[in-house]
Amino acid sequence: MQKISDELHNLSLCEVADLIKTKQVSAVETLQACFEQIDTLDPVHHAFVWQDRDSAMARALWLDCIQSAGEVLGSLHGVPMAHKDMYYRTGRVSACGSRIRSNEPARGTATVLRKLDAAGGIDVGGLAMVEFAMGPHGFNAHLPRSLNPWGHDRVPCGSSSGSGVAVASRMVYASLGSDTGGSVRCPAAANGIVGLLPTNELVSRRGTMPMSWSLDCVGPLTRTVRDAARILTEIAGPNANGGSASINYEHEIDGPLTGIRVGVAEGYFDEDLDPDVNKVVTGSLEVLRQSGANIIPVKIPRSVSIASDLHPLVMKAEGSANHKPWKRERGDEYSAEVGKRLEAGFFIPASDYINALQFRVFALDDFLETVLSKVDVLHTPLLPIPTPTLEQTAYSSGPNYLKMVVALTRNTKVINFLGLPALSVTCGFTSDGMPTSFQLVGRPFSESLLLRLGHRYQMETKLYREIPRELRRSSTQASVAAE
Amino acid sequence: MPVTAELLKAINREVQGIPIEEERWKELAVEVNQLRQAAESALGVHDFDRDPAEFSSLLRSRRG
């Protein structure tokens, strides 16, 4: 007979939350199922950097207790989650993947954590990330390597590497990551799950580690689009004390797609695109078309290419300003890769930085006029290449390495520069068996529309039910051992 | 005009004070020149009257 935990950890966040709400399963049982999955997989996958099981279990017991008395905190009541280790909670150390912050307890609690607490979520622990969120392929020299559950020889991408691995490995039901150039969407794509980049400023960053103030966004990684909608409903808006969001994104998810104009990029996003990825991503358009959407080619303006080149200028200028005291006094505590990544920012003239920010206004205006006035959303590949191997990303300064690093964030960083919302949804597998995703980009604050399209795609294809290859292997090995 | 490793070293010595390995300077000059080139290409569409703070208001005013 199958154990309840075997069934529980494969459910989506919304499914398990609804079971808890209707008392078909308790918060304690759900948390125990997560602990079992973490015990089985994390010694190999290395998604967690720390866990606080005692506090998580105490909270689960309390949540079950108040539910027995008739009180349900919110839409995440009893749901175990874990977040990138850069969300501060008073008195707790969030090292941000670094040595430098490894002994510094936080002086406050992140607004988004307060909101998830108010909605009834359970915080299980901190997840692996690239040092100070500076790097796209997921490697952190200070931590054990997080492994992709679809292939242990492949990178999980980053910088929210642990978030992607933990959610895809069914260790927790959702996770918050942060996205400055693709750090939510890339690990979501590499690990075969959903990643949402909200509109710049929609979700509070108070109490989270800053990397680049202009570009940083907080976003969820989940297994389904509906799960992402539920999380966004809880975390959107500036209110630090929880409560209802002004929009219930989940309630708007089932609307029709009839007449929605989905743009297919001509220029920039279709350049340097791997043919295998192109085939899978192009195939996903047919599903949207059959669901009622109109597929329309749209030309991408030259300003997007300039934005792509200016993104690292803004990111490095802001990042180096923030890290200057530590780079001067504690430079040897940075890993070689991240330490070097910061250095160019110290030599960017202020006038260049300000011109880049001025250009950002033009680029957004231009994109809205030339692209998002002709279509309602833009559909692009997320990663333009198949998920790289660990070997391909072993740190080097050679041209192939730099080309690969640039390719990883090519289609994502420009969206951060434009401040627009984007949703990453798995749409199939490249010939090596690795998942790949499309990205939907919309007008400012059009998350409801992106979620509606992504949800319909998932309902039509059911790809979100696919179990990662390494989990299937692990499960088979466990069954053989049990027999 | 491209910046040189020597210029970056001088700026660092006089202004920034960041410990940077000797063999890194040449590579760093290439990187800084790439970033400066990006800034130069944006000047082609530079608008004197554009305030960077307009970005937030533009986002809010063009809700989807």
pLDDT at residue A401, as a whole number: 76
> A228 in a domain, yes or no?
yes
CA distance A397 to chain B (A): 9
A183 catalytic residue (yes or no): yes
Domain assignment present for residue A457? The answer is yes
Q: Quick one: which of A267, A459, A295 has its CA closest to A376?
A: A295
- Using the beta-carbon criterion (under 8 Å), do B64 and A376 form an inter-chain contact? yes
Residue A97 falls in which region: left (phi positive, over 0), alpha (psi -120 to 50) or beta: left
Beta partners for residue A425, in sequence order: A438
Give rounded-to-5 percent helix, strand, coil for chain A: 45, 15, 40
- A141 in any annotated domain: yes
Q: Which residue range is the domain that position A226 belongs to?
A: 14-482
Q: Which residues contact A482 (CB under 8 A, 6 or more apart)?
A: none
Indicate which CATH number applies to the domain containing A68: 3.90.1300.10
Catalytic residue among A98, A160, A183, A320: A183
Ranges assigned E (strand) in A149-199: 174-179, 194-197
Inform me whether the C-beta atom of residue B1 falls under 8 Å from chain A C-beta atoms. Answer: no
* A2 within a domain of the structure (yes/no): no
Does residue A204 carry a catalytic annotation?
no
Residues forming a β-bridge with A389: A154
Determine the pLDDT at residue A240.
Answer: 56
From the list A12, A26, A75, A84, the catalytic residue is A84
**Cα(A457)–Cα(A455) distance, integer angstroms:** 5
Q: Is B28 exposed, middle or buried (0-12, 13-18, 19+ CB in 10 A)?
A: buried
Q: Residue A147: inside a domain, yes or no?
A: yes
Q: Nearest by CB to B39, from A332, A347, A352: name it.
A: A352
pLDDT at A104: 94
pLDDT of residue A479: 67
Mean pLDDT by 10 residues, chain B (64 residues): 95 97 95 95 84 92 89
Decide if A356 and B20 are in contact by the 8 Å CB cutoff.
no
Instruction: Tally the domains of chain A.
Output: 1
Residue at A8 is within a domain: no
Q: In this complex, do B64 and A445 lie within 8 Å of one another by their Cβ atoms?
A: yes
The two structure tokens encoding residue B58: 């533009």
Residue A64: both structure tokens together: 């079950």
Quick one: closest CA in B to A317, which residue? Answer: B35
Is A159 annotated as catalytic? yes
Does residue A236 lie in a domain region? Answer: yes
Element (H, E) at A85: none
- Using CA atoms, how far apart are residues A295 and A272, in angstroms rounded to an integer? 22
Nearest-neighbour CA in chain B from A230: distance (Å) = 20
Give the closest-approach CA distance of A268 to chain B in angstroms: 16
What pLDDT score was predicted for residue A421?
A: 98
Residues A304-326: b if buried by 16+ CB within 10 A, e if exposed:
bbbbbbbbbbbbbbbbbebbbeb
Residue holding tokens 């919304």?
A14
CA–CA separation, B43 vs B36, rounded Å? 11
CB-nearest partner of A343 from B28, B39, B50: B28
Would you give per-residue pLDDT tens digits along chain A (483 residues)? 445 556 899 999 999 999 999 999 999 999 999 999 999 999 999 999 999 999 999 999 999 999 999 999 999 999 999 999 999 999 999 999 999 999 999 999 999 999 999 999 999 999 999 999 999 989 999 999 999 999 999 999 999 999 999 999 999 999 999 999 999 999 999 999 999 999 999 999 999 999 999 999 999 999 999 999 999 999 998 755 544 458 999 999 999 999 999 999 999 999 999 999 999 999 999 999 999 999 999 999 999 999 999 999 999 999 999 999 999 999 999 999 999 999 999 999 999 999 999 999 999 999 999 999 999 999 999 999 999 999 888 766 667 777 888 899 999 999 999 999 999 999 999 999 999 999 999 999 999 999 999 999 999 999 999 999 999 887 777 666 666
Q: What pLDDT is recorded for position A242? A: 47
How far does the CA of residue B58 sit from the closest CA of chain A (Å)? Answer: 8
* Beta carbons within 10 angstroms of residue B30's beta carbon: 12
Q: Which chain B residues are within 8 Å of A324, Cβ to Cβ?
A: 16, 18
Instruction: Determine contact, residues A105/A151, Cβ cutoff 8 Å.
Output: no
| Yes or no, beta carbons of B64 and A449 under 8 Å apart | yes
Please report the ipTM that was assigned to this predicted complex: 0.97
CB contact under 8 A, B36 and A357: no
Instruction: Tell me whether B6 touches chain A (CB under 8 Å).
Output: no
Decide if A182 is inside a domain. yes
Output the pLDDT for position A244: 46
Which tokens is A46 given? 């290395």
Residue A196 region, left (φ>0) first, then alpha (ψ -120 to 50), else beta? Answer: beta
Alpha-carbon torsion (A323, A357, A217, A233), positive or negative: positive
